[in-house]
Amino acid sequence: MATLKDVAKAAGLSVTQVSRALNNHSDVSKTTRERVHKVARSLRYQPNLSARKLVSGRSGMVGLVEPRTPHLASDGLFMEVVAGLSTQFSEIGMQFVLHIARPDEPILPVYQRLIGNGALDGFVLTHPEENDPRASLLADEDVPFVVHGRIGEAAEHAYFDIDNEGILYEITRHLTGLGHKNIAFFNGLAGRSYVTARERGYLKALNDSGIPAANALIRNGEMTEAFGLLSTVELFSGGALPVTAIICSNSRIAKGVYQAVGAMNLSVPDDISVMAHDDHVANLETAAFYPALSVTDAPLRESWAPLARCLAEAIDGAPLSQLQQVGPHRIFLRQSTAAPPRSNA
Amino acid sequence: MATLKDVAKAAGLSVTQVSRALNNHSDVSKTTRERVHKVARSLRYQPNLSARKLVSGRSGMVGLVEPRTPHLASDGLFMEVVAGLSTQFSEIGMQFVLHIARPDEPILPVYQRLIGNGALDGFVLTHPEENDPRASLLADEDVPFVVHGRIGEAAEHAYFDIDNEGILYEITRHLTGLGHKNIAFFNGLAGRSYVTARERGYLKALNDSGIPAANALIRNGEMTEAFGLLSTVELFSGGALPVTAIICSNSRIAKGVYQAVGAMNLSVPDDISVMAHDDHVANLETAAFYPALSVTDAPLRESWAPLARCLAEAIDGAPLSQLQQVGPHRIFLRQSTAAPPRSNA
DNA sequence: CTGTTAGCGCTTTCAA
DNA sequence: TTGAAAGCGCTAACAG
């Protein structure tokens, strides 16, 4: 491999000046810079990341740590994350490193090892939880990181997130606006920060509509079809509250809800209105549901690019205010929502 | 982070001696070594990989490069590979780096970048093809690598493989031994080296049994249920040769074959014998097929540990002879194979 | 605009 | 058995 020294010799310059030219510093004449770049290219020069990291603290490598769960191999979401991030980081000339931790191994020591190794410039954290210890560790150690999502209402870290609270507020207000009063909410697993945020939005909307919240109407679970199906059946077999609308945290849950509603010989939207948030991860075309599902829409895949950029900037030492971004979402009102049936209005 | 210097100071020794002690060199007194280890532990010392790589050429990081295909996110095999390798490498104290390449990007330049970066010690190559250009590149550049599979009959590189040729030989001989003469073979995509090896084994067995091979009996395709189903139907609708046995390169294909055979109102094994190789990647319990499928058996998951060890040794400069390993396989004869029906015997 | 000097953290001669 | 010194390839002061 050609080194800086080789390029310097070939260009008849000092190593320093070549380094500056290659890194596009301002204090290099244009002619020199161009000549150096040409020589470097002809020698197929590539900077040695280890050497660079050693002196400047930057290697251009960032990592994602994931515990190896039994389902990992069949987890489409996980692969979406990995493929998306990996692609986006190489797009901006960085190396994305995936580290799968042993299933039995506690996760913090893994981060500590990786930090101590000193090979990585920063980390991406996904699926944050409230008071996530990984974030605390990284913050304590002053290691740059970006979170996919937000930890806490006043997050003190770099993140890219969608407005989970706002999304649920919009959905819920739409339903209360139609006249619904008993609105169930099938949310994700408790503890995840987006789950909490969504619950906040739901509760706030109910409150703003003057509707009391009922614990029995909120359910948390893994966001699967089965969860939606079972929750719906249980909700109606309990028969306590005359639920007229169901909000699903994703389209997969909604699919299960549709099945249960059909099985119970009820109809969407005549008997029950259904809405969901669609992140486009499940291969479910919500417009092709029958009846077409009303959704808020924010494709997960649109977050990898901002996330990568955000981490790059965090590593470059950008101020926190620039590193906290909330992506857009849309709302599509289709055929699955209507005013509640008379008997329950 | 604590550095060697810190440890040296705390231990009252020179940096040199500490380095030697920590790396368990022979020329360090036992007392010193133990003391140094203790001090290092108490300071939570971790060697800086970049510094180490810079001077010794070893970082302890190895990589796998995978082009991002549309199906990647739902490709269970891929995740099995990633999770398996990642786990095994951390088991032996190495870092496993996954690099997903952009879909449009030719793959060789990606390797060249990664090599030139000088951050990785070596690579794992999966899904090798005959005359695989990646292997040529890595060999040319003198970068250690290990192949999951073999390239060519007399492979000149480190590999861990199963005896694909032998496996197909065994299967085919078992069928010819039962009296079958027209034995179809549904193999994987042409070009992959294990596909070629299996074909060799199949042809050799036919030859050794004095049975002429027929091109029409060999089919190559993506190893899916659909491939098995369609191939079977086509084979029989052509109606040229009275096929009495089908060999499938994996259990998924066999599942498709079973479906087609059922649809055609034929029976396994009375009309058609079926055998397959089972790598335990598809979640198909071959013993639970009806009738139970006769298979050769070599779980893919058993290859990650040897593969990781092999690469580690290759990086350590072990001789090639130690780096070429062939894993074991078993054969389970169950209910899907029998002598051919009289009319075709 | 350019070169000289120093040093990142580590391993490895070479001497003692 | 130990230490001093050199240097891996690079960047960042500091002079000029």
Contact B180, B273 (CB under 8 A): yes
Tokens matching residue B224? 């899916």
Q: Within 13 Å and on the Cβ side, how many CA atoms surround B49?
A: 25
Contact B76 A75 (CB under 8 A): no
Does residue B221 sit in the same domain as residue B314?
no
- Residue A193: pLDDT over 90: yes
* Chain A nearest-CA residue for B301: A73
Grade residue A345 by pLDDT with cuts at 50, 70 and 90. very low
pLDDT tens column, A282-320: 889 999 999 999 999 999 999 999 999 999 999 998 999
pLDDT per position as a tens digit, A50-63: 999 999 888 899 99
**A-chain residues near B80 (CB < 8 A):** 73
pLDDT value of position B266: 95
Residues of chain B contacting A79 with CB distance shorter than 8 Å: 72-75, 78-79
Q: Has residue B133 been placed in a domain?
A: yes
The Cα–Cα gap between A10 and B307 comes to: 42
Is A1 in the B-facing interface, judged by CB distances under 8 Å?
yes
First to last CA, chain B: 76
Q: Decide: CB of B20 under 7 A of nucleic strand D.
A: yes
Using a CB-CB cut-off of 8 Å, the residues of chain A touching B50 are 49-51, 53-54, 59, 118-119
pLDDT in tens, A122-138: 999 999 999 999 999 99
For residue A99, give both structure tokens.
């580290």
Residue B83 confidence (pLDDT) above 90: no
The answer to whether residues A226 and A217 touch, using CB atoms and an 8 Å cutoff, is no
In this structure, the answer to whether residues A316 and A225 fall within a common structural domain is no
**Kind and range of the H or E element at A278?**
strand A273-278
Residue B319: CB atoms within 10 Å: 8
B174 and B153 housed in the same domain? no
CA distance A6 to chain B (A): 14
Residues of chain A with C-beta less than 8 angstroms from the C-beta of B282:
none
**What pLDDT score was predicted for residue A303?**
97
Average pLDDT, chain B: 93
B6 in A contact zone (CB under 8 Å) = no
CA of A64 to C1' of D12 (A): 30
Distance CA A198, CA A339 (A): 23
Q: Inform me whether the pLDDT recorded for B76 exceeds 80.
A: no
Q: What is the DSSP letter of A102?
A: P
Q: What is the DSSP string of B117-156?
A: HT--SEEEE-S-BTT-HHHHHHHHTT--EEEES-SSTT--
SS3 label, residue B314? helix
As a rounded value in angstroms, the CA-to-C1' distance for B3 and C14 is 24
Contact B79 A80 (CB under 8 A): no
Band (A77; pLDDT cuts 50, 70, 90):
confident
C strand bases under 7 Å from protein CB = 1-5, 7-13
Give A102→chain B minimum CA distance, Å.
Answer: 6
Average the pLDDT over B334-343 and give the result.
92
- CB atoms under 10 Å from CB of A178, counted, come to 17
Residues, CB < 7 Å to strand C: A 12-17, 20, 26-30, 32, 51, 54-55; B 3-5, 15-16, 19-20, 22-23, 45-48, 51-52, 54-56
Q: A156 in helix, strand or coil?
A: coil
Residue B176 lies in a domain: yes
Rg (CA), chain B: 25
- CB contacts, 8 Å: B76 with chain A: 73-74
Q: What count of other Cβ atoms lies within 10 Å of the Cβ of residue A277?
A: 26
Give A147→chain B minimum CA distance, Å.
20
B90, B95, B101, B107 alpha-carbon torsion, rounded to 10°:
-100
CA distance A78 to B274: 36
Other CB atoms within 10 Å distance of the CB of residue A256: 22
B171 domain-assigned: yes
Distance (Å, whole) CA B323 – CA A65: 30
* Contact between chains at A83 and B100 (C-beta distance less than 8 A): yes
How sure is the predictor about B77, in pLDDT bands with cuts at 50, 70 and 90?
A: confident
SS (H, E, C) B179-211: CCCCEEEEECCCCEHHHHHHHHHHHHHHHHCCC
Q: Do B204 and B335 share a domain, yes or no?
A: yes
- Straight-line distance from the first to the last Cα atom of chain A, in angstroms, rounded to the nearest whole number: 76
Q: What is the pLDDT of residues B136-174, one digit of tens each?
A: 999 999 999 999 999 988 999 999 999 999 999 999 999
Mind listing the pLDDT tens digit for each residue in B3-40?
999 999 999 999 999 999 999 988 888 899 999 999 99
Q: Do A49 and B1 touch (CB under 8 A)?
A: no
Q: Give the pLDDT of residue B338.
A: 97
Residue of B188, B65, B200 whose CA lies nearest to B125: B65
Which among A258, A245, A240, A159 is positioned nearest to A202, based on CA atoms? A245
Same domain, B252 and B335: yes
Residue among A59, A79, A110, A121 with most chain B CBs within 10 A, to mutate: A79
B49 touches chain A (CB under 8 A): yes
- Rounded to whole angstroms, how far apart are CA atoms A246 and A256? 12
CA-based nearest residue to A110, from A48, A76, A54, A66: A66
Neighbours of B127 (CB within 10 A): 18
Test B48 with A54 for CB contact under 8 angstroms. Answer: yes
Tell me the C-alpha distance between A141 and A117, whole Å: 13
Q: What is the DSSP string of A51-85?
A: HHHHHHS--SEEEEEEE--TTGGG-HHHHHHHHHH
**Is residue A49 within 8 angstroms of chain B, CB to CB?**
yes
Same domain, B117 and B181: no
* B52 located within any domain: no
- Whether B336 and B194 share a structural domain: yes
Residue range A238-288, pLDDT digits in tens: 766 789 999 999 999 999 999 999 999 999 999 999 999 999 988 899 999
CB contact under 8 A, B46 and A116: yes
Determine the structural domain holding residue A101 and report its residue range. Answer: 61-162+301-327
A185 DSSP β-pair partners: A218, A247
The predicted-structure confidence for A13-55, as pLDDT tens digits, reads as follows: 999 999 999 999 888 898 999 999 999 999 999 999 999 999 9
Looking at residue A192, the DSSP 8-state letter turns out to be: B
B192 and B247, same domain (yes or no): yes
Residue nearest to nucleotide C9 (CA to C1'): B51
How many structural domains are present in chain A? 3
CA dihedral A305, A308, A309, A311 (to 10 degrees): 160
Secondary structure tally for chain B: helices H, strands E? 12, 12
CA A202 to chain centre: 20
Please write the tens of the pLDDT for every residue from A78-87.
Answer: 888 988 998 8
Q: How far is A73 from chain B (nearest CA, A)?
A: 5
Please state at what angle helix B304-315 crosses helix B76-91, rounded to 10 degrees.
Answer: 50
Contacts 24+ apart (CB under 8 A), B236-242: B236/B260, B236/B264, B240/B216, B241/B182, B241/B214, B241/B216, B241/B217, B242/B182, B242/B343, B242/B344
Q: Which nucleotides of D are covered by protein (CB under 7 A)?
A: 1-5, 7-13
- What are the CB-based long-range contacts (under 8 Å, 24+) for B207-212? B208/B173, B209/B172, B209/B173, B209/B176, B209/B177, B211/B176, B211/B181, B211/B183
Does A69 touch chain B if contact means CB atoms closer than 8 Å? no
Helices (H), chain A: 4-11, 15-22, 30-42, 49-56, 76-91, 107-117, 133-140, 164-178, 193-208, 225-238, 251-263, 304-315
Could you read off the pLDDT of B281-301 as tens digits, one per residue?
A: 888 999 999 999 999 999 999
pLDDT number for residue B285? 96
A39 and A79 assigned to the same domain:
no
What's B71's domain CATH number? 3.40.50.2300
Please list, in sequence order, all residues whose beta carbon lies within 8 angstroms of the beta carbon of residue B44, skipping any fewer than 6 positions away: A112, A116, B2
Choice among A63-72, A180-189, A324-333, B269-278 with the minimum mean pLDDT? A63-72
User: How distant is C1' of D9 from CA of A26, in Å?
Assistant: 22
B156-172 core/surface letters (b: 16 or more CB in 10 A; e: else): ebbbbbbbbbbbbbbbb
- Per-residue pLDDT, B72: 74
Of residues A141, A135, A306, A59, the one with CA closest to residue B95: A59
How far, in Å, CA of B288 to CA of B199, rounded?
A: 27
Q: Smallest CA–CA separation between A92 and chain B, in Å?
A: 12
- Same domain (yes/no): A184, A280: yes
Report CB contact under 8 Å: B54, A49: no
Res B64: pLDDT: 94
The pLDDT of residue A195 is above 60: yes
Question: pLDDT tens across B255-278, in order?
Answer: 999 999 999 999 999 999 999 999
User: Within a domain: residue B53?
Assistant: no
- Measuring CA to CA, which residue among A232, A279, A237 is closest to residue A258? A232
Looking at A181-185, A255-259, B51-55, B291-295, which range is the least confident one?
Answer: B51-55
| Inter-chain contacts counted by CB atoms under 8 A, chains A and B | 130
- Is residue A344 over pLDDT 60? no
Q: Give the type of residue at B177.
A: G
Is residue A56 domain-resident? no
Identify nearest nucleotide to residue A7 by CA to C1′ distance.
D9
The answer to whether residue B51 sits within a structural domain is no
Same structural domain, A175 and A294: yes
Long-range CB contact pairs, B126-130, < 8 A, 24+:
B126/B64, B126/B66, B126/B81, B127/B192, B128/B192, B128/B193, B129/B191, B129/B192, B129/B193, B130/B191, B130/B192, B130/B193, B130/B196
Neighbouring residues of A84: CB distance < 8 A, sequence distance ≥ 6: A300, A301, A303, A304
- C-alpha atoms less than 13 angstroms from C-alpha of B159 in its C-beta half-sphere: 22
- Do residue B79 and residue A75 have CB atoms under 8 angstroms apart? yes
Task: Give the residue on A whose Cα is nearest the Cα of B68.
Answer: A83
B27, closest nucleotide (Cα–C1'): D1
Q: Which residues of B, range 86-125, sit inside 8 Å of A by Cβ? A: 86-87, 90-91, 95-102, 112-119
Is residue B279 located within the same domain as residue B215?
Answer: yes
**Residues of A in Cβ contact (< 8 Å) with B86:** 68, 98-100
Q: Is the predicted pLDDT of residue B344 greater than 70, yes or no?
A: no
Q: Is A189 exposed, middle or buried (0-12, 13-18, 19+ CB in 10 A)?
A: middle
Q: Is residue B119 part of a domain?
A: yes
Residues contacting A165, CB < 8 A, separation 6+: A197, A198, A200, A201, A204
Does the pLDDT of residue B345 top 70, yes or no?
no
Q: Kindly state the tokens that stand for A260.
A: 């249960």
